[in-house]
Structure formats: C-alpha cells, structure tokens
C-alpha cells in the first residue's frame, strides 16, 4: 500500500439501491461509504478500498478474492441483505479467522449465523444521516477496526470447525495439494516424534520421569510419549493409559486410539479407559457405524461395572461408576440421533439423558461427582431434545430443567474446569430465557476467571477447545433456542474470549 498505509477492504453495494419495503425509497450506499466508513477507516489509521475503486485490471473477481484473502482488515455493510455481500463475507470467514468488522442499518433482521458475530448497527433512512448518529457510529467502527487489526478471532467458520481446510487430497495420480505449513496436522511430524521416542527407549528412560517432563509441555511432547509407549520393549509400560487419555483430551485421536486398542488387546484397558476410547473413537469415525462401535465400547464398560457393582446404588463408588457410564452413553446416543435424525434415536437419546441425569444428581448429593458442568449439560440437552421431539422451541419446560441448571452450585472439591463449564451452561440457560443482563454479567465474570485459569498447565482446555465446543453446541441447536439474539451474543463472547 502506498506510503506504507495498511488497507481496509470494504464490502458493500455501490450507488443507490431500492429499499424492499414497498415505499419506492432508495438507499444511498455511497453516502454511507463517504460519511461513515471512509472517515472511520482513516481514523483507525487505514486506507479504505472498495472493489469499484480498483483500476488497471479486468479480473475484478480475482482482485476481490485476493483482497478478501490477503487484507488484514475487511469491513462489510450487511444492509438490505445484499446476496453479493453475504457471499463475499462467507469467503472472508473461510479465508481469514480474524480481522472482519460488520455494520448494518438498525432494524435489520440478520440470519442466525451472522448473529454469532459482532455487528455495529447504525440508523439511516437511506437518504439523510444524522450528525450525532454519524459521530457515534464512526467512533464505534474506528474502535472495532483497531481491535480487528490485533488479530482477535471473529470468524464463526474457524471457531466452529477444528480445521477449516481439508487435509491434502489426491487430485490425480502423482499430483497432490499440500496445505500451508501452519495447517499441517500434528501427525505430520510423526517421523521426528518416533525418532525421539526410540532414542528414549535406547537410553532406557523411565516413562514416569518422561511424563513429568513432557506430557503437559505441548502436543509434540505428548505425542513423543505416545510413540515411546508403542515402541517400548517388553510391551506397554505402566502409565500408557494415562498418556492415551491425555492425547485424546488434546484431540490427538488417531494416536490415542492406537494406544487404546493396544491396551484393550493386551487386557490392560480399565473401565475408565474404555469410556475415553469410546469418545476418542467416535471423533475419528464420524458416521453411524462409528457411533455404533463407540456405543459397544461403552456397553463393555457398563458390563464390567455391573460385574463389579451388582447394585448400582449399593455404595457411592458404585453409583459413581454407573453415572460415568450412563453419561457417556447419553452423549453418544445424542450424537447418533444427530447423525440419523430418526425418531427412535431421538427417543433413545432422551431416555439415556434422563438415566444419566438421575445418576449424576445422586452422586452430587453424595459428594462424589466433582464436575458440576456435566449435570448442567445433561439438563440443558434434555430441555432441547424435548423441544426437538415436539418441533417447538416454545415448548413449556414442565420438567423444570432450566430451574435445575440455575440451582446447581459449586461444592468444595469440584474441578475448577467443571465450574467453568457450569457457569457457561448457566449463561446459556439465562440467555435462552431472555435474561439479557444476568446472562451477560455471568458471561463476563466467567471470561475473567477462565482467562486466569487457562494459564495453568492442568487447564489447557479452558477457553480453547471448550469455547469452540460450546459454540458448536449453540450452532447445532440453533433452531430450538427461544432467544436467538441473546444466544448469538453468548456465541460472540465465547469467540472473543477464545485464545486470548
């Protein structure tokens, strides 16, 4: 950019467009560009550029695509629901995880997907802009642009998908497309990780000391430990299951599943390990066959539990063991219904969640279940599944699931991550009920607590995968939220807090 000034690419209609309200009034977008957008962009230290201002190239779409991909900041005006603008916004959200600012005229009803993002609204009748309104909006847009330059995540595509671009695919024999280095999966470093693991084996390093040094350092170190277990002479060392579960938590499902399978074949996989294997297996095998196989693993764990504890309520330990199995069953049956959308699978998911909720509540009363977020999640899922069964987001909550969610309190000994999940599910329940102020206050408070918690090694999941998972949960159930606008605000807060 000339004079070293960074550009802001502006996506919006050009000229005057008919307002589709039957009044024959026109909407002057060029005035918005001149009076609002150009001023805000310049005050943010950027240079505004629209596609119609590009000269010297007949390849307009090529230049536009490059701007959507390469410019650090893009501003889009969504007024009048122009399809070209939404098309370009979709391209931008795929190509860039950050740097996008959205504005729109007040009174517009935006689709739910866009409500997941922050939108600055301005008042405009299509012809005259009020001076005070201009001052207010210019200031807000300037702040948003300055914030966008910092790279804060704002793309719902990148937030809801673990990996936006698919891995390398074969186009023709011998011709491959490689993803950018930044998108290479962790297992692309398998050769190096295996070399390190073999070196540890040759030096007879004990797994216990290696685990203390490398397990929580980063994903690379954890994967090295996984290969160390696989190449360990004389079979899998003690502590392999801990490594497998940690890899699954770190979303390294392929390597985790290799370890789980080896442990299961050797008769060394515990009941808890079987439950972890079921979840990890389902992440890799995202189809109905995978759901069935995962449920078989949970059934194996439940059979073991029944052999060890014939009476599910005979002791606190027995009830807890059954609660863990039924919670995992409920999650997988829920997922199976999401894949099949069959009424019988929906009924099975509801029944499984009812059983899981009952066991977890009994454990909470006995002080043996230290993750209150799972109980809140079960109630919230049940409330939504019942709405899906009746296809009615306004279905009365006669089972009082929302009340149950809001009445859950943290207890001494609870996992701190479990408390974070509880807080967010309560935020969602409040937003769904239309309690804007309470929902936002609790969300802001939880964001602050999570920001401190995530700096501790044992809570790497907080504010990272946790927030992505919750945003995906909000999106998957978008049809059944009572207050979509407030739910969109929660999604936006989750996105703003991710990775900060």
Q: Over its length of 500 residues, how does the chain's per-residue pLDDT go in tens digits? A: 445 679 999 999 999 999 988 888 999 999 999 999 999 999 999 999 998 876 544 445 678 888 898 899 999 999 998 999 999 999 999 888 889 999 999 988 887 667 667 889 999 999 999 999 999 999 999 999 998 888 777 887 776 665 565 543 333 333 333 333 333 344 557 888 899 999 999 999 999 999 998 887 778 889 999 999 999 998 999 999 999 999 998 889 999 999 999 999 999 999 999 999 999 999 999 899 999 999 999 999 999 999 999 999 999 999 999 999 999 999 999 999 999 999 999 999 999 999 999 999 999 999 999 999 999 999 999 999 999 999 999 999 999 999 999 999 999 999 999 999 999 999 999 999 999 999 999 999 999 899 888 777 678 778 888 888 898 899 889 899 999 888 988 988 888 777 55
Q: What is the pLDDT of residue 49?
A: 93
Q: Is 449 exposed, middle or buried (0-12, 13-18, 19+ CB in 10 A)?
A: middle
Q: Is 499 helix (H, G, I), strand (E, B) or coil?
A: coil
Query: Rounded to a whole number, what is the largest CA-CA distance in the chain?
Result: 82
Q: Given 3-state DSSP classes, what are the helix, strand and coil percentages for the chain, each rounded to the nearest 5?
A: 65, 5, 30
Q: What is the pLDDT of residue 218?
A: 77
- For residue 142, how many C-alpha atoms fall within 13 Å in the half-sphere facing its CB? 14
Q: What is the pLDDT of residue 60?
A: 53
As a whole number of angstroms, the distance between CA 354 and CA 187 comes to 39
Asked if 109 contacts 163 with a C-beta cutoff of 8 angstroms, the reply is no
Closest by alpha carbon to 243, among 274, 282, 215, 268?
Answer: 215
Asked if 203 contacts 217 with a C-beta cutoff of 8 angstroms, the reply is no
Q: What is the pLDDT of residue 163?
A: 57
Q: What is the pLDDT of residue 172?
A: 35
As a whole number of angstroms, the distance between CA 4 and CA 360 comes to 60
Q: b or e along 383-406 (b: 16 or more beta carbons within 10 Å of the residue's beta carbon)?
A: bbbbbbeeeebebebeeebbebbb
Rounded to the nearest angstrom, the gap between the alpha carbon of residue 309 and the centroid of all alpha carbons in its chain is: 37
End-to-end CA distance of the chain: 29
The string of DSSP codes covering 221-257 is HHHHHHHHHHT-TTSPPTTHHHHHHHHHHTT-HHHHH
Rounded to the nearest angstrom, the gap between the alpha carbon of residue 486 and the centroid of all alpha carbons in its chain is: 17
Residue with tokens 């098309």: 87
Asked if 72 contacts 97 with a C-beta cutoff of 8 angstroms, the reply is no
How is the chain split into domains, by residue range? 2-160, 370-399+414-500
As a whole number of angstroms, the distance between CA 32 and CA 205 comes to 67
H or E stretch at 100: strand 100-105
Asked if 434 contacts 484 with a C-beta cutoff of 8 angstroms, the reply is no
Asked if 175 contacts 76 with a C-beta cutoff of 8 angstroms, the reply is no
CATH number for region 2-160: 3.40.50.450
Locate all alpha helices (DSSP H) within 51-111, ordered by sequence.
60-70, 83-95
pTM over 0.85: no
């Amino acid at each position: 950019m000339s004079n070293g000034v960074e550009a802001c690419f502006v996506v919006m209609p050009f000229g005057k467009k008919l307002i589709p309200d039957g009044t024959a009034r026109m909407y002057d977008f060029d005035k918005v560009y001149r009076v609002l957008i150009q001023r805000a962009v310049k005050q943010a230290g950027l240079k505004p550029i629209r596609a119609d201002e590009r000269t010297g190239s007949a390849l307009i779409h090529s230049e536009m695509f490059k701007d959507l991909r390469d410019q650090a900041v893009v501003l889009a005006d969504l007024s009048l629901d122009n399809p070209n603008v939404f098309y370009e916004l979709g391209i931008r959200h795929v190509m860039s995880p950050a740097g996008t600012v959205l504005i729109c005229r007040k009174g517009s009803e935006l689709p739910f997907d866009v409500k997941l993002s922050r939108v600055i609204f301005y008042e405009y009748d299509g012809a005259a802009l009020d001076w005070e309104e201009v001052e207010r909006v210019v200031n807000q847009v300037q702040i948003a642009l300055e914030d966008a330059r910092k790279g804060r995540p704002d793309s719902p595509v990148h937030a809801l998908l673990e990996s936006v671009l698919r891995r390398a695919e074969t186009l023709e024999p011998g011709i491959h497309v490689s993803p950018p280095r930044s998108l290479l999966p962790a297992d692309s470093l398998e050769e190096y990780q295996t070399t390190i693991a073999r070196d540890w084996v040759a030096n007879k390093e004990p797994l216990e000391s290696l685990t203390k040094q490398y397990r929580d350092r980063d994903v690379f170190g954890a994967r090295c430990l996984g290969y160390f277990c696989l190449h360990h002479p004389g079979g899998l060392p003690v502590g392999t299951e801990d490594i497998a579960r940690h890899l699954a938590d770190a979303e390294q499902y392929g390597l985790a599943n290799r370890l789980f399978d080896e442990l299961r074949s050797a008769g060394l996989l515990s009941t808890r390990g079987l439950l972890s294997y079921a979840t990890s297996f389902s992440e890799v095998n995202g189809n109905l066959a995978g759901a069935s196989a995962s449920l078989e693993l949970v059934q194996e764990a439940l059979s073991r539990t029944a052999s060890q504890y014939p009476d599910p309520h005979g002791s606190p330990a027995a009830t807890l063991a059954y609660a863990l199995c039924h919670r995992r069953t409920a999650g997988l049956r829920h997922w199976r219904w999401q894949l099949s959308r069959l009424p019988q699978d929906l009924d099975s998911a509801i029944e499984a969640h009812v059983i899981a909720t009952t066991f977890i509540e009994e454990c909470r009363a006995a002080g043996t279940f230290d993750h209150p977020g799972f109980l809140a999640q079960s109630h919230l899922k049940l409330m939504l599944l019942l709405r899906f069964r009746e296809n009615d987001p306004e279905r009365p909550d006669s089972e009082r699931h929302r009340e149950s969610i809001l009445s859950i309190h943290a207890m001494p000994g609870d996992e701190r991550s479990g408390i974070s999940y509880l807080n967010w599910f309560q935020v969602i329940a409040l937003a769904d009920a239309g309690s804007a102020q309470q929902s936002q206050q609790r969300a802001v408070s939880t964001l602050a607590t999570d920001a401190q918690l995530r700096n501790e090694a044992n809570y790497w999941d907080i504010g990272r995968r946790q927030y992505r998972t919750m945003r995906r949960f909000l999106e998957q159930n978008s049809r059944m939220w009572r207050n979509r606008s407030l739910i969109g605000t929660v999604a936006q807060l989750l996105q703003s807090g991710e990775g900060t």
